[in-house]
Amino acid sequence: MDIGTLEKRLAREKAARSEAEALLEAKSRELYLSNKELLKASQTLIGQSQQLNAIFDQALTVILLADGDGTIQRANRSAEMTFGREAGELKSTNLYDLLDQNSREAAAEMERRRDPAKKFTAVGNMQEMVGLRADGTPFPLELAVSVFELEGKRHGVWITRDITARKEAQEKQLRLEQELRQSQKLESLGTLASGIAHEINTPIQYINDNAHFLKESFADLMSVLQAYDVLLQKADAHDQFKEQTGAVRANAEAADVDFLKEEIPSSIEQTLDGIERISKIVTAVKEFSHPGTTEMTAIDLNQAIETTLSVTRNEWKYVAETTTDFDADLPMVPCLPGDINQVIMNLIVNAAHAIESKGGENLGKIAIKTSHADGQVSVSITDSGCGIPEANRGQIFDPFFTTKEVGKGTGQGLSIAFNIVAQKHDGTLSFTTEEGVGTTFTITLPAVQASGVKAETEAETKEAV
Amino acid sequence: MSARVVFVDDEPNILRGLQRTFRRLRNEWDMDFLDGGEAALKHLSENPADVIVSDMRMPGVDGAQFLTEAAQTHPETLRIILSGEADREMTFRTVGVSHQFLPKPCNTDSLCEKIRRCLAAKSKLPHADLQIAASGTASLPVSEETLQTLKAAVEGASSSLEDAADIFASEPGLAAKILQLANSAYFGIGQSVNSPAEAVRLLGSDIIKPLVDKGCFKSAAATPALNTAVFDHTLTQAKSMAALAQKAASEAQASSTQIELARVAGLLHNIGRLVICSNFPNCYSDLESGGAVEPAGLDQQEEQAFNCTQADVGGYLALLWGLPDAVCTAIAHQTTPDTAPDPRDAVLLALQAARQAGGEGHEEAAA
């Protein structure tokens, strides 16, 4: 091979080599760059995953991921706290075991309606259900269910939230509103009633005075008439003034005087009776609506009951007879008079309704009894009504619980009564009942403490001795 | 001479009704029926009266204004309000110038009975001065110390009705006034209330506080004419009698109501003396010449001065103020139990026993 050829070859190979080196450098540079990007991507992924985990765990709502059978795969911190179970315990638990019986069906129905083909289902409408804590205590929650498929397998995600606090706040709000409405209604009724009562008082005064006057003066007139009768008989006996005595007799007959003699006094008597009754009612109304004292005032419960009975007469007179057995030595009770009147009224009206719904031809019985012992005063109101079915006994003091027909009751009566007695007066309201036989509601209230007066008089006695 | 009774109302039907219903008393009372406060004032300026029965809400001169003037010009009258309705401000103005507040509709028989009993008690006081002193009494003197305690009890942020109840039950001046207000329909429907504490609870602090603020309870210190020596003695005596009468009733196994009434009767047994010592300080001349204050001596001097006893004055005031019947009777008949309608009444007997135990009865017997 000549040198020229060799040199050419060498030159060619050198060129090829440097070309290869350049290529290598470019390639390795490329590799370096893509590796760098990969690293960055993987870091981003790790970051994102941490972020997702953090969101998952820090979320205030409960998030539960389950497989197709409903067995929990993942649960967040909220889930542990809400259901009161450890993460380990939650895993492998079935989702449905976290709900009470009724809610299980509702949740299953929600899940059935979800179409896994739709990749994304909005967590729009949450449903209120009842969940169970680890110890089986039920609590209100709201739940949304979504379903998706991953690697050909069906999965479910449950998003749920404990709404106990919200429910309580709502109920409290409702109760307050209801009470406010009720008390406003009573207040305006009271104002109206006492205004009317006052208006009626003046005419009653003079109707009563006039009726008394008629009664007395009729008696006076009667004695005059009797004297005339004697005169008439004398005239007859002496056979005198025939024309005049005839006229007197004719007039007396036309006026039916014998009837008048009988009926006028009894009609006046009945009028007086009626006035007496009106006066009693008016006094009762005045007392009942005694301008809303908002402070504790000592009252005589016996009298308050008497008053309430006459104000509510219309509610019970066609269904029941009422009897009272009052403790004559009942101590005064410090209370909010309007509120306590309302409690007694609610219980009496309830008793009447219980008797009404039992039916039957004879009048039922409402018996009210007062007594005191150990600084406590108690009032029991017993009816011969339908009694309270076992299933309802736990709920009768709950707001809005009612078994009455729509329009008959708001379901507030007993709840308000309970609230007034227990919360405002530090008393108790309890009941005993037997279905078909009747119910007794018993209110106990702390009586006025007489200790102060006693201690003082003891000191005085000493002084005097 | 028949008693002169004046009825005042702006409603003609009421006046005619009263006129008709009281017609049967035409031989016993000399009655006038007057349309409104102005007409009544004019009538009173020309004619004396023993009893005034007035409405509250009247156009022009209303009941409160009319009674205020009548109380000044005719303090000897028995002043009764007969009203269907009155606002609280107006009612406060009548406390002190009227004796009783009857709500409409009222039973005219019981009104008639009230008036008769008051007039009968009044006739036992032979001196016109004494009659005026009793029916002109707006409130009885209360010791300055007790009044301050009461003010503190109702003013304080931690004011308690129970504290006030105890204070009212502790002095005759306070107890009598609060019983008067609660037994009448001034601030309620008027119901029979036997104990001062019950009266306080019934009226409530809404009423009690303004009453104290408006000076319805008068301090002994603000009664210039008061004979303080007699007042102090009367107060001590009243408190000790209250305890003794309560004890006596409870030992006699009286009912709890009677025991409470006995206590009140004891506390109020010498309110007549409170009237005398705050209006006629000089009737006790013996004291001025250095005599000791002792009950029999006081009785004697009062009798010399007025020809009647402090029991007569107290009995009259109790009736005027409409205090519980048993208390009125016990006060009026404390020295003459045999003339009481029921000499065996538990409250009267308890007060007798208390007087024996407290030495009053004994000394009298000696005197």
Q: What's phi and psi for A289, nearest 5 deg?
A: -100, 20
What pLDDT sits at residue B67?
96
What pLDDT sits at residue A372?
92
* Residue B184 clears pLDDT 60, i.e. is over it: yes
Put simply, the answer to whether A456 touches B198 (Cβ < 8 Å) is no
pLDDT, tens digit, for every residue of A2-57? 888 999 999 999 999 999 999 999 999 999 999 999 999 999 999 999 999 898 88
Last residue of a domain, one of B219, B251, B285: B219
Is there a domain that residue B239 lies in?
yes
Q: Which residues contact B187 (CB under 8 A, 6 or more apart)?
A: B88, B91, B181, B203, B207
B125 to chain A, minimum CA–CA distance in Å?
A: 31
Is the omega angle on the peptide bond into residue B105 within 30 degrees of 0, that is, cis?
yes
| pLDDT, mean of residues A385-412 | 71
- Could you write out the DSSP letters of every residue in B133-161? HHHT-SS-EE-HHHHHHHHHHHHSTT--H
- Could you write out the DSSP letters of every residue in B292-357? ---HHHHHHHHHHHHSS-HHHHHHHHHHHTT--HHHHHHHHTSS-GGGSS-TT-HHHHHHHHHHHH
B136 touches chain A (CB under 8 A): no
Length of chain A: 465
B67 plus B20 within the same structural domain: yes
- CB-nearest to B204 from A198, A279, A293 is A293
What pLDDT sits at residue B243?
95
Work out the number of other CB atoms within 10 angstroms of the CB of residue A405.
8
What SS3 state is found at B223? Answer: coil
CA distances from B207 to A293, A391, B149, B212 (A): 11, 49, 18, 9
B175 plus B235 within the same structural domain: no
Work out the number of other CB atoms within 10 angstroms of the CB of residue A22.
10
A216 touches chain B (CB under 8 A): yes
Q: Which of residues 291-330 of A touch B (CB under 8 A)?
A: 293, 295-300, 303, 329
Q: Give the nearest chain B residue to A458 (CA atoms).
A: B243
Last residue of a domain, one of B219, B242, B270: B219
Q: Give the nearest chain B residue to A283 (CA atoms).
A: B189
B155 plus B197 within the same structural domain: yes
Last residue of a domain, one of B180, B195, B219: B219
| pLDDT, mean of residues A437-457 | 69
Q: Which residues contact A399 (CB under 8 A, 6 or more apart)?
A: A171, A174, A175, A178, A411, A412, A415
B84 touches chain A (CB under 8 A): yes
Taking the C-alpha atoms of residue A402 and residue A354, their distance in angstroms, rounded to an integer, is: 12
Residue with tokens 């016990």: B330
What SS3 state is found at B31? Answer: strand
ipTM, two decimals: 0.78
CA distances from B35 to A22, A138, A201, B84, B182 (A): 132, 74, 19, 16, 29
B282 plus B235 within the same structural domain: yes
* Domain CATH for B234: 1.10.3210.10
A374 to chain B, minimum CA–CA distance in Å?
A: 16
Q: Which two tokens stand for residue A259?
A: 């009837």
Taking the C-alpha atoms of residue A355 and residue A132, their distance in angstroms, rounded to an integer, is: 39
What pLDDT sits at residue A120?
56
Number of domains in chain B: 3
| pLDDT, mean of residues A408-436 | 80
B42 is in which domain, residue-wise? 3-123
- CB-nearest to B202 from A206, A298, A449 is A298
pLDDT, tens digit, for every residue of B226-280? 888 899 999 999 999 999 999 999 999 988 889 999 999 999 999 999 999 999 9
pLDDT, tens digit, for every residue of B2-44? 899 999 999 999 999 999 999 989 999 999 999 999 999 999 9
Where residue A88 falls among pLDDT bands split at 50, 70, 90?
confident
Q: Which of residues 227-256 of B touch A (CB under 8 A)?
A: 239-240, 242-244, 246-247, 255-256
Q: Give the nearest chain A residue to B57 (CA atoms).
A: A202
A122 to chain B, minimum CA–CA distance in Å?
A: 59
**Chain A residues with beta carbon closer than 8 angstroms to that of B18:** 206, 209
Mean pLDDT of chain A: 84
Is there a domain that residue B51 lies in?
yes
What pLDDT sits at residue A460?
43
What pLDDT sits at residue A32?
94
- Could you write out the DSSP letters of every residue in B79-110? EEEEES---HHHHHHHBTTBSEEEESS--HHH
B26 touches chain A (CB under 8 A): no
| pLDDT, mean of residues B157-169 | 81
For the CA atoms of chain B, what is the radius of gyration?
A: 20
B119 plus B202 within the same structural domain: no
**Chain A residues with beta carbon closer than 8 angstroms to that of B13:** 202-203, 206
Is there a domain that residue B184 lies in?
yes
Taking the C-alpha atoms of residue A344 and residue A325, their distance in angstroms, rounded to an integer, is: 15
Is there a domain that residue B359 lies in?
yes
* Residue B170 clears pLDDT 60, i.e. is over it: yes
What pLDDT sits at residue A399?
64
Is there a domain that residue B130 lies in?
no
The upper half-sphere exposure of residue B17, i.e. CA atoms within 13 Å in the direction of its Cβ, equals: 22
Residue with tokens 């308000």: A416
Q: Give the nearest chain A residue to B104 (CA atoms).
A: A201
Taking the C-alpha atoms of residue A273 and residue A265, their distance in angstroms, rounded to an integer, is: 12
Please state which CATH class domain A61-162 belongs to: alpha beta
What pLDDT sits at residue A119?
56
Taking the C-alpha atoms of residue A221 and residue A166, their distance in angstroms, rounded to an integer, is: 79
A333 to chain B, minimum CA–CA distance in Å?
A: 9
Taking the C-alpha atoms of residue B175 and residue B169, their distance in angstroms, rounded to an integer, is: 6
A198 to chain B, minimum CA–CA distance in Å?
A: 6
- Could you write out the DSSP letters of every residue in B43-70? HHHHS--SEEEE-S--SSS-HHHHHHHH
Is there a domain that residue B136 lies in?
no
| pLDDT, mean of residues A433-440 | 91
CA distances from B3 to A251, A264, B8, B30, B40 (A): 43, 33, 16, 6, 17
Q: State which amino acid sits at residue A249.
A: R
Quote the Cα angle for A327-A190-B183, to 5°.
50
SS3 assignment for chain A: CCHHHHHHHHHHHHHHHHHHHHHHHHHHHHHHHHHHHHHHHHHHHHHHHHHHHHHHHHCCCEEEEEECCCEEEEECHHHHHHHCCCHHHHCCCEHHHHECHHHHHHHHHHHHHCCCCCCCCCCCCCEEEEEECCCCCEEEEEEEEEEEEECCEEEEEEEEEECHHHHHHHHHHHHHHHHHHHHHHHHHHHHHHHHHHHHHHHHHHHHHHHHHHHHHHHHHHHHHHHHHHHHHHHHHHCCCCHHHHHHHHHHHHHHCHHHHHHHHHHHHHHHHHHHHHHHHHHHHHHHHCCCCCCCCEEECHHHHHHHHHHHCHHHHCCCEEEEEECCCCCCCEEECHHHHHHHHHHHHHHHHHHHHHHCCCCCEEEEEEEEEECCEEEEEEEECCCCCCHHHCCCCCCCCCCCCCCCCCCCCHHHHHHHHHHHHHCCEEEEEEECCCEEEEEEEEECCCCHHHHHHHHHHHHHHC
Taking the C-alpha atoms of residue A312 and residue A302, their distance in angstroms, rounded to an integer, is: 15
Most B CBs within 10 A among A213, A287, A290, A327, hence the mutation to make, goes to: A213
CA distances from A177 to A169, A181, A422 (A): 12, 6, 19
Q: Which residues of B31-69 are buried (b: 16+ CB within 10 A; e: fewer)?
A: bbbbebbbbbbeebeeeebbbbbbbbbbeebbbbbbbbb
Put simply, the answer to whether B161 touches A296 (Cβ < 8 Å) is yes
Cα torsion at B200, B202, B207, B209 (round to 10°)?
A: 30
Q: Give the nearest chain B residue to A335 (CA atoms).
A: B201
B86 plus B168 within the same structural domain: no
What pLDDT sits at residue B364?
43
* Domain CATH for B68: 3.40.50.2300
B312 to chain A, minimum CA–CA distance in Å?
A: 25
CATH architecture of A293-452: 2-Layer Sandwich (3.30)
Is there a domain that residue B294 lies in?
yes
pLDDT, tens digit, for every residue of A102-112? 888 888 888 77
Is there a domain that residue B129 lies in?
no
